Amino acid sequence: MEKIGVIGAGSWGIALAKLLATNGHSVIVWSIVEEEIAMLKEKHEHVDKLPGVKLPDSISYTTDLKDAIAESDMLVLAVPSVFTRSTAKSMAPYVKDHQVIVCVAKGIEEETLMTISDVVEEEVKNADVAILCGPSHAEEVGIGLPTTVVAGAHSKATADRVQDIFMNEVFRVYTTPDMLGMELGGSLKNVIALAAGMADGLGYGDNTKAALITRGIAEISRLAIKMGAKAETLSGLTGIGDLIVTCESKHSRNRKAGMLMGQGYTMDEATKEVKMVVEGIYSAKAALALAKKYEVEMPIIEAVNSVLFENKSAKEAVADLMQRDKRTEHADLAWES
């Protein structure tokens, strides 16, 4: 049994807290919101973000960050990506040397273009930072539906340890050293999911969705590989797997926000309706900046940015994508004649 501190009491943090407690670990959950902690203590359920998922009585809760960190063997950082740096900065004084921090949020910091793990490593220099991601909606993990994810770390020993702690009969964990590929796949797919949602909101069909998913992973892969990630990662669970579930699922907040925008909502109206952090909106500008920095063509990413920040309608953006110049699908394939 290990002592695990879950930093963040959103739907994903709570789902993982339940999973870890079910696996026999001692779990403490931290939130900065006193009312949230009071609710969790009283009801053993997050009635707002994960209704119907009853939590084991063994889980404890706190608003004291030091309490959540000091006695824990491992930390799970589950705050939204936009709060990662500020939270990591607050955590830093209490983190022990080589204490493992498992990052489970997905995003790219807009100002620095850094991944989540890079941000945490910059703020908590003595930590051993790992990642856990893949096609894994909290709503399904919370009720024990079979799910498969990937643990990434700098060392095999750390990845194996994360795998051992999280894995059970309904939650399968693979390992990889390609943290960059995992994080780029997990972040950029949220932007593509906004486009997929817009297509749904416009009433388009399966053909459109298949095209967005397929061309979306092509865009993500072009950028990620140029940045040093591995092609195998983008064809795996944290690449195409995560993209499929986020573009298709009724649980996807990015798809839902995109769908509302496709129906005519503004970005602000859509995010208010979703009532949760829509990570793709925060990653969109960073994705476009990375595309320009590395000179990679990413037309879907560009189209999403034009809808989000340039007042272009979703219908116009799709039309522009369809009417781009002719080209071959794979430029590196040779013709026989």
- pLDDT of residue 115 exceeding 80, the answer is yes
| % of the chain at pLDDT higher than 90 | 82
pLDDT in tens, 290-303: 999 999 999 999 99
Average pLDDT, stretch 185-194? Answer: 93
Q: Is residue 95 a part of any domain in this protein?
A: yes
Closest CA to 162 of 197, 132, 195, 193: 132
- Residues with a known catalytic role: 189
| Chosen domain end from 177, 211, 235 | 177
pTM of the model: 0.92
Here the CATH number for the domain that contains residue 53 is 3.40.50.720
**7 beta partners:** 30, 77
Is residue 187 within 8 A of residue 301, CB to CB? The reply is: no
pLDDT in tens, 69-95: 998 999 999 999 999 999 999 999 999
Does residue 158 sit in the same domain as residue 203?
A: no
Q: Is residue 329 a part of any domain in this protein?
A: no
Q: Is residue 290 a part of any domain in this protein?
A: yes
> In this predicted structure, what is the pLDDT of residue 60?
97
Closest CA to 201 of 188, 214, 212: 212
**What is the residue range of 73's domain?**
3-177
What are the tokens at 145?
């539906």
